[in-house]
Amino acid sequence: MAEPKQHQRISGDQLRAFIAAAFEAVAVPREDAKVIAQLMTQADINGSEGHGVFRLPQYIRRIKGGAVNVQPNIRVEREMPGMALVHGDNGMGHLVMKFAAEKAIEKAKTAGVAWVGAKWSNHAGPAALYAAMPPMHNMIGLYMAVGSANHLPPWGGLDMLLSTNPIAVAVPAGDEPAIVLDMATTVAAYGKVKTKAQRGEMMPEGWMMDRQGNALTDPKRASEGFLLPIGGYKGYGLALVLGLLAGNLNGAAMGKDVVDFNNDDTTETNTGHAIIAINIEAFQPLDEFKQGMDTLIRDVRNSQRLPGVDRIRLPGEGTHVARADNEKNGIPMPEALLAALDQLAGDLKIEKLAR
Amino acid sequence: MAEPKQHQRISGDQLRAFIAAAFEAVAVPREDAKVIAQLMTQADINGSEGHGVFRLPQYIRRIKGGAVNVQPNIRVEREMPGMALVHGDNGMGHLVMKFAAEKAIEKAKTAGVAWVGAKWSNHAGPAALYAAMPPMHNMIGLYMAVGSANHLPPWGGLDMLLSTNPIAVAVPAGDEPAIVLDMATTVAAYGKVKTKAQRGEMMPEGWMMDRQGNALTDPKRASEGFLLPIGGYKGYGLALVLGLLAGNLNGAAMGKDVVDFNNDDTTETNTGHAIIAINIEAFQPLDEFKQGMDTLIRDVRNSQRLPGVDRIRLPGEGTHVARADNEKNGIPMPEALLAALDQLAGDLKIEKLAR
C-alpha cells in the first residue's frame, strides 16, 4: 500500500509548466493551455487530487481522439439581466467555466445575482475551483454540474442514469477563511474511487454497491457496481435536480445522453454546468456580512465536542490546510501518477515533469 | 399505536374555513387569514402532515404571545434587476414567502432568473409550497430556509447551532407531473419527529442521537438529543451553507441567534428564506424543455429495478398521490390532532372543525 508521506513533492510552477506543455503539444493555443494548466494545478494545490493533473492523460487522450475542440468559440448564446447561457463549443471545461464564472461575476455587479448556465462543455475539474471565483469579488459563488460519467442509479434501481452531480458553495468571511463546501451527491466522488484504485487501496463499505445489492470495496471492480447517494433517496433526489439545473435547463446532456468520458476518447459529451454569483452588497453592507460570518465561524469552531473529537471543522478547512502545505512544500505525487505522466511526456515528445 | 386508515377525513374546504376563522379570532385581517389558511391546507392536502394544520395551535399561541406581527408591512427593502430583499416585518411566514415568491416570478420575467431573499419572517410551512409557485408560470422554483429551531450540531459537535435547513426544487414537465424535491438536510425533519410523538410511535434508528452518541428512538425524548445530518459531514455542510444563503445573506437569524419557536411564544424569530425563480424560456424553447423532462422522467421510471423493488419513484411522486387522494377523500386527521383543534376552538371561541 502506498505511503503518502513518501510521495515526491512537485512545485506548482513545475506542474503548471508541464501541463501547459502537454496541452500545447496537442494544438491547444498557448494562452488557453496556460489557463487550463493554472486551474488544474490549483486543483492539486487545493488537495483535489482526483481532479488535477491526475486527469491529464485522459484529457490529452480525448483531445487526440477528436472528442474535444482545441479551438472553441466559447460564447454567450442567450442573455437577460439576471442570466446568461454560454455555449462552450466543445472546448475544455476549464476554459468554458472560467468564461462562465467571469460572466456571472460581471452580471452580478449590476443585477445583484446572476445565474450563468453552460452547455457543450467538458469535464472542468473540481467544483470548488469555480465556486471560489465570485468570493474574490466579494460575492458568494454556487456551482453545480452534470458529472462526466453515470455511476448512480435512481433509488431502488440498477440503471446508472445519474452522475455524482456535484454542488459547491463558497462564501467569503472577514478575518476567517472562506467557507467552501464542495460535495458530490454520492457518498464518494468517482475521482476518489479512481485514486484508491491507483494507490492500490480498498474502499470503505458504503461507497459502492454491486448489482446484487452487496457492498463493493475493491476499486478495481468499480465498473461492476455503482456509487451510493448520500441519505438514500434524498441524495438521489439531489443528484437528479442538480442534473436538471445544470443539464436539462441548459440543453446539455442528462440521463441516458451522458457519455462516460472515462471509457470514450472520441465522443463529444455536451457537459452542462451552472455558476451563480451573488453580490453580497446588494443585500447588506459588506462589513456587516463579513463580521457576521466571522462570528458564526468562531461559534461553530469553539462549540462543544462529542467525546473523542479533537476539532470541529468548517467546510473548506481541509483545503485551506492542504493549500498552505502544498504551496510551501510542493504537491505530493504518487509514484504511479509520476510514471503515467512520464509516459505521457514520451508520447507527446515533451520534457518530463521536472523533479 | 394509531392506525392511519381509521383517521377521520376532513375536506379541504372545511379545514380552510376553520384555519381562517382561527387566525381572524387573533386579529389577523380576513384576507391574510384566507391566504394563510389556503397555504396551510395545501400543505395538508400535499401530505406534508408535519407542516399543515398540525402547526395551528403553535402559530396561534405565538400570535397571542406577541411573537408575530398580525398587521405586517411586508415590503421590498432592496432591489436590483436579478434580486430583491424582502422585509417581512415579522409577519406570518406564509404571507412573507407568498409575497417573495410572487416578486421572484415577476422579476424573472424580465431578468431571466431572480433571487429573492427574506428576513424578519416566520415559519412558513413546507418548503415545497413556495418552490411549486414558479412552475405555475413555466419557471423552475428553488426554495431554502433557516429552520425555526436548532436541532443539529456541527459534525462532531454537541451544540445545536444549526437547524434542519431545508431545500426544495420544483421543475415542471410536459405530460408528466412536475419533479418536486423537498428535503431537510437531516435524515428526518423535526416535524416528522413531532408527528411520531403525537401518534405515539417510535422513530427508526438513524434519525436522532443523544448527547452520549447513542441512538435515540423515543420521540418524547427528542429534547434530550439532536437530529443527524444526511451523509454525515456532507449534510452538516449542506445545512450550514443553506443557512448562510437563507439567513446570513439576508441579515436573518442563523446559528446562536435562531429562536426555538417550539418553546417560545413571545420572541421574534427573524426567520430567513430565499426563493429563486428561473424562467425556462430564457434558456431554451419551453416545448423542448418539457419534452426533455418527460423523456427523462420516463427513462427513470422505466429503468431496471433492484430485486424486491416494486417501483422507481421520482421526487414529488408521493405528494402527487397524496394530493389526488386527499382532494377526493379528504385529509386524514389523527384523533390527537382533532382533539387539539377542538381545544383551540374552545379557547378562541370559534366553531369546532366541521366533520
* pLDDT grade for A25, boundaries at 50, 70 and 90: very high
Mean pLDDT value of segment A65-93: 98
**H or E element in which residue B297 lies:** helix B286-301
> Is B157's CB within 8 Å of A309's CB?
yes
Which of B233, B276, B296 minimises the CB distance to A254?
B296
Positive/negative CA dihedral, A101, A102, A105, A107? negative
The answer, yes or no, to whether residue A73 has pLDDT greater than 80, is yes
- Chain A residues in contact with B108 by the CB 8 A cut-off are 82
B318–chain A Cβ distance below 8 A for any pair: no
Sign for the pseudo-dihedral over CA of A62, A63, A67, A73: positive
Least confident window among A49-53, A347-351, B302-306, B338-342? A49-53
Q: Are B120 and B88 in contact (CB under 8 A)?
A: yes
At position B77, the amino acid (one-letter code) is E
Determine contact: B78 vs chain A, CB below 8 A: yes
Interface touch A255/B230, C-beta < 8 Å: no
Q: Sign of dihedral through CA atoms A157, A162, A168, A169?
A: negative
A83/B282 Cβ within 8 A = yes
Kindly report the CATH class assigned to A10-186+229-284+328-348.
alpha beta
Q: How far apart are CA A36 and CA A92, in angstroms?
A: 8
- Per-residue pLDDT of chain B (355 residues), as tens digits, is 444 456 899 999 999 999 999 999 999 999 999 999 999 999 999 999 889 999 999 999 999 999 999 999 999 999 999 999 999 999 999 999 999 999 999 999 999 999 999 999 999 999 999 999 999 999 999 999 999 999 899 999 999 999 999 999 999 999 999 999 999 999 887 878 888 998 899 999 889 998 888 899 999 999 899 999 999 899 999 999 999 999 999 999 999 999 999 899 999 999 999 999 999 999 999 999 999 999 999 999 999 999 889 999 999 999 999 999 999 999 999 998 999 999 999 999 999 999 8
Q: What pLDDT score does B44 carry?
A: 97
* Contact at CB, A303 and B112, closer than 8 angstroms: no
Single out the residue of A124, A68, A65 nearest to residue A100, CA to CA.
A124
Q: B116 in contact with A at a CB cutoff of 8 Å? A: no
Distance CA A190, CA A199 (A): 14
**Can you say whether the dihedral through the CA atoms of A324, A14, A198, A207 is positive or negative?**
positive
- What is the pLDDT, as a whole number, of residue B113? 98
CA distance A40 to chain B (A): 24
Residue A243 predicted with pLDDT over 70? yes
Nearest to A157 among B140, B241, B304 (CB): B304
| pLDDT of residue A154 exceeding 70 | yes
Q: Mean pLDDT across the stretch A16-20?
A: 98
- Which chain B residue is nearest to residue A79, measuring alpha carbons? B282
What per-residue confidence (pLDDT) applies to A7?
Answer: 85
Cβ-count burial of A3 within 10 angstroms (0-12 exposed, 13-18 middle, 19+ buried)? exposed
| Domain B72-186+229-302: top CATH class | alpha beta
Nearest-angstrom CA–CA distance, A267 and A258: 10
How does pLDDT run across B137-182, given as a tens digit for each residue? 999 999 999 999 998 999 999 999 999 999 999 999 999 999 999 9
Q: Which of residues 4-63 of B touch A (CB under 8 A)?
A: none
C-beta atoms of B181 and A240 within 8 A: yes
Q: What's the average model confidence in pLDDT over A292-306? A: 97
A331 close to B (CB below 8 A): no
**B235–chain A Cβ distance below 8 A for any pair:** yes
Chain A nearest CA to B156, separation (Å): 6
Pick from B192, B240, B276, B293 the residue to mutate for testing the A interface (most A CBs within 10 Å).
B240
What does the mean pLDDT of chain A come to? 95
* Closest by Cα among B172, B192, B188 to B180: B172
Residue A3: pLDDT band with limits 50, 70, 90: very low
Mutate which of A107, A115, A254 to disrupt the B interface (most B C-beta within 10 Å)? A115
Q: Which residue on chain A is closest to B251 by alpha carbon?
A: A284
pLDDT of residue B1: 42
Burial label for A299, CB within 10 Å (0-12, 13-18, 19+), is middle
A266 touches chain B (CB under 8 A): no
Compute the nearest-CA separation of B188 from chain A (Å).
Answer: 10
List, by residue range, all CATH 1.10.1530.10 domains of chain B: 6-64+327-355
Closest partner residue to B244 (CB to CB) among A113, A179, A256 is: A179
Confidence of residue A1 (pLDDT cuts 50, 70, 90): very low
Name the CATH topology of B6-64+327-355.
Answer: Hypothetical Oxidoreductase Yiak; Chain: A, domain 1 (1.10.1530)
Residues 167-206 of B with CB under 8 A from A: 169, 171, 179, 181, 183, 187
